[in-house]
Amino acid sequence: MSARLLKGKEVSDALVTQLSQEMAKLNFQPKLVFIRVGDDPASVAYVRGKNRLAEQIGICSLVNALPQETKQAELMELIAELNADDSVDGILVQLPLPEHLDSEPILEAIDPRKDVDGFHPMNVGRLWTGQEGLVPCTPAGLIRIMDHYQLPIEGRHVVIIGRSNLVGKPAAALFLRRHATVSLAHSRTRNLAALVKQADIIVAAVGRQALITPEMVKPAAVVLDVGISRVDGKLVGDVHPDVAEVAAHLTPMPGGTGRVTVAMLMQNTLQAAIVRRASG
């Protein structure tokens, strides 16, 4: 019996409908500003998709497309201007940046209240200490998928493969918040296959094709595939296709977590707008 597919479009559509209804109740229009440096085709496509969804929901969305040779100081100056602009609720710097730019100080320069990517150290700290704050969109999307399909988290053993600041670590924090037992695995984990075999919920977030094989998955497991790599011009995930014959639930790749990530960005923007205005 094949796994039930956890389709990102279904989850995203439900969230977009909810956000549109919440937007209709507001007496203001949230404003989201994207910053893109250079013309990397993937970045251009990602920003275009995010911008399109923002407009669909009713969020005022602007794109600052800067030239490839933009200097660090120029980018920092733009962020300072957006921080000071009271009409701006969310600021997103599209990654990766050109090699001559240092992304860490750039992301730290964003006002934490407008950090809709959830990458600022202050928001990271809030996440790990159980406080309210803006949370990275992909990990938040994983929780959203689980909730949409009414899949239990509390008491389950979650094995996350990949310890990045963008997915692995924040995903661990979010699953812990929901009272799961979390194992965070990585390239130096011993006996990875045996550890993954114990998991009720597997999060694959490495970017290595077919890293998770059917032999590593126990029946009835939920498998969330976040890893992306390009093979022969096609996008593939970290999970071998045959895992669908073992797992109970599986996110397809593509078509799984990506669309939900973008929808969660819109939720973060709405949350940032409401919280910032409420706090004055």
For the residues of 133-164, what is the DSSP string, one character each?
----HHHHHHHHHHHHTT---TT-EEEEE---
227-235 mean pLDDT: 84
Instruction: State the pLDDT at residue 1.
Output: 60
CATH number at residue 152: 3.40.50.720
Let me know whether 173 and 252 are in one domain.
yes
Tens digits of residue pLDDT in 43-76: 999 999 999 999 999 999 999 999 999 999 999 9
Pick the closest to residue 57 from 36, 96, 31 (CA basis): 31
Let me know whether 59 and 140 are in one domain.
no
Tens digits of residue pLDDT in 152-166: 999 999 999 999 999
Let me know whether 95 and 190 are in one domain.
no
d(C-alpha 57, C-alpha 187), whole Å: 40
The set of long-range contacts for 145-149, using a CB threshold of 8 Å and a minimum separation of 24, is 145/6, 145/8, 145/11, 145/224, 145/251, 145/256, 145/257, 145/260, 146/201, 146/222, 148/10, 148/11, 148/14, 149/4, 149/6, 149/11, 149/249
Q: Max alpha carbon distance in the chain (Å)?
A: 56
Task: List residues with catalytic annotation.
Answer: 50, 94, 117
- Residue 156 — left, alpha, or beta (φ > 0 → left; ψ -120 to 50 → alpha)? beta
> Would you say 218 and 198 are in contact if contact means Cβ atoms under 8 Å apart?
yes
| Chain centre distance of CA 145 | 12
Let me know whether 104 and 140 are in one domain.
no
Is the residue at 210 inside a domain? yes
Is the residue at 207 inside a domain? yes
Q: Last residue of a domain, which of 111, 144, 173?
A: 111
Please give the structure tokens belonging to residue 138: 């992909």
Let me know whether 106 and 149 are in one domain.
no
Is the residue at 123 inside a domain? no
Let me know whether 71 and 184 are in one domain.
no
Let me know whether 57 and 104 are in one domain.
yes
Is the residue at 12 inside a domain? no
Let me know whether 72 and 36 are in one domain.
yes
Let me know whether 182 and 223 are in one domain.
yes
How many CB atoms are located within 10 Å of the residue 150 CB?
Answer: 6
Instruction: State the pLDDT at residue 280.
Output: 64
| Strand residues in the chain grouped as ranges (E) | 4-5, 31-37, 60-66, 90-93, 157-161, 181-185, 201-204, 222-225, 229-231, 234-236, 249-250
Is the residue at 51 inside a domain? yes
Let me know whether 105 and 148 are in one domain.
no
CATH number at residue 34: 3.40.50.10860
Let me know whether 65 and 151 are in one domain.
no
Is the residue at 266 inside a domain? no
Half-sphere exposure of 204 (CA within 13 A, CB side): 31
Q: Last residue of a domain, which of 95, 111, 127?
A: 111
Is the residue at 124 inside a domain? no
**Total domain count for the chain?**
2
Tens digits of residue pLDDT in 159-194: 999 999 999 999 999 999 999 999 999 989 999 999
Let me know whether 236 and 145 are in one domain.
yes
Tell me the residue range of the domain where 49 lies.
Answer: 27-111
What's the chain's length in residues?
280
